[in-house]
Amino acid sequence: PTEKAMVCFGSMFIELPKAKTREMLRQDQEELDEEINKLRKDLRVKVNRLYEAQGKPELKGFNLNPMSAEEMKLINRILEG
């Protein structure tokens, strides 16, 4: 609990408690995951509009969502026996 971690902010390194650093990284990762999911969703809409404008049929299976880590663990458990 008293350990510290060096964190780089721009061109500066700042020493922060490990718990605070871990929480900051977790929050940043959550925000990045949300942004990635939003961009993926928007990309699907844009690709469908592009295909529609070109007169091509909608891509099959393009609206599938990736499996979560929990779902992958369950699938692997089933496959292992």
Locate the domains of the chain by residue range: 4-60
Rounded Cα distance between 23 and 41, Å, is 27
pTM strictly above 0.85: no
Q: Look over the chain and give the mean of its residue pLDDT values, rounded to a whole number.
A: 89
Query: Does 28 have pLDDT greater than 80?
Result: yes
Residue 49: how many other CB atoms lie within 10 Å: 10
pLDDT at residue 27 in the model: 96
Residue 17: how many other CB atoms lie within 10 Å: 13
pLDDT at residue 53 in the model: 93
Radius of gyration of the chain (CA): 21
Confidence band (pLDDT; 50, 70, 90) for 2? Answer: low
Query: Does 67 have pLDDT greater than 70?
Result: yes
Strands (DSSP E) along the chain, which ranges? Answer: 4-9, 12-17
